[in-house]
């Protein structure tokens, strides 16, 4: 079977180096179809409910048919990640390193908002496919102008991408919460009860700063405002390091 005898790297690069022919009857589905169905399934249900059985049902085949194309759930997820990155919308990086890194951050946030499950995949191993390597090559152009060593340039990019992933999770959580109740509705209910407890004197800083933050964003917390503030601070920090070659 394809999944059992074809390695992940071969599957990732299948369009540049054709896979070996499968023995037996012609396949009713393709690796591409499995990957596309997997992305649709993860986009619709998230990772918690994601399984090969559900992907097979989406394709209208038995799960054993799927195992003829991918070895397991983990391998399929790698193929899906690389495909999402291959299909990613991006513009050629221009401007200063700061402008280019801000662009990288915006493009990655858009990717994670389009495919929220990507923000919940954590692995130390890189996906060695054309989508991932092309994305990495493109984004390294943003940190190449920094007077840092190559390892530090990689870490600078990783720092920005990790921050964006955290922001994407916060934005996803806010979308879920706001689909049930608006910030105004939440505060009208919870704030009224809190006010009755008279907590302002006990927690003066929390009351003053929390009120100012709420008035500024019209919510107890605003993930998008926090993302913009945090990214600016992060880039400011890299600017300070930029005189410190590593």
pLDDT tens-digit series, residues 25-53: 667 899 999 999 999 999 999 999 999 99
Q: Is 70 exposed, middle or buried (0-12, 13-18, 19+ CB in 10 A)?
A: buried
Question: What confidence score (pLDDT) does residue 246 get?
Answer: 47
pLDDT tens, position by position, 119-138: 999 876 788 999 999 999 99
Residue among 85, 103, 110 nearest 160 (CA): 103
Band of pLDDT at residue 242, cut at 50, 70 and 90: low
Q: What is the pTM of this model?
A: 0.85
For the chain, the structural domain boundaries read 2-86, 97-241
Confidence of residue 5 (pLDDT cuts 50, 70, 90): low
- Fold classification of 97-241 is Tetracycline Repressor; domain 2 (1.10.357)
The more confident residue out of 244 and 219 is 219
Residues of the chain with pLDDT > 70, as a percent, come to 90
For residue range 56-85, what is the model confidence (pLDDT) as tens digits?
A: 999 999 999 999 899 999 999 999 999 999
User: What value does the mean pLDDT of the chain take?
Assistant: 88
Q: Is the pLDDT of residue 193 over 80?
A: no
pLDDT at residue 25, rounded to an integer: 66
Which CATH architecture is the domain 2-86 placed in?
Orthogonal Bundle (1.10)
């Amino acid at each position: 079977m394809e999944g059992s005898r074809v390695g992940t790297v071969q599957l990732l690069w299948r369009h540049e180096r054709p896979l070996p022919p499968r023995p037996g009857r012609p396949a009713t589905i393709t690796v591409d179809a499995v990957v596309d169905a997997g992305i649709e399934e993860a986009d619709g249900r998230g990772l918690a409910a994601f399984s090969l059985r559900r992907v097979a049902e989406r394709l209208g085949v038995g799960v054993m048919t799927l195992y003829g194309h991918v070895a397991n759930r983990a391998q399929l997820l790698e193929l899906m990640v690389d495909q999402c990155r291959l299909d990613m919308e991006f513009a050629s990086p221009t401007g200063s390193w700061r402008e280019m890194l801000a662009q990288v951050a915006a493009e990655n946030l858009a990717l994670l908002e389009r495919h929220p499950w990507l923000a919940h995949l954590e692995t130390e191993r890189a996906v060695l496919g054309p989508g991932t390597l092309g994305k990495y090559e493109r984004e390294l152009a943003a940190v190449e102008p920094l007077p840092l060593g190559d390892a530090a340039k990689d870490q600078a990019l990783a720092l920005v991408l990790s921050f964006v992933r955290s922001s994407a999770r916060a934005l996803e959580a806010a979308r879920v919460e706001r689909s049930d109740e608006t910030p105004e509705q939440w505060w009208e209910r919870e704030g009224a009860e809190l006010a009755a407890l008279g907590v302002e004197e006990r927690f003066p800083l929390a009351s003053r700063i929390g009120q100012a933050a709420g008035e500024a964003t019209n919510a107890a917390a605003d993930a998008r405002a926090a993302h913009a503030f945090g990214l600016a601070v992060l880039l400011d920090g890299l600017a300070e390091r930029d005189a410190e070659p590593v």
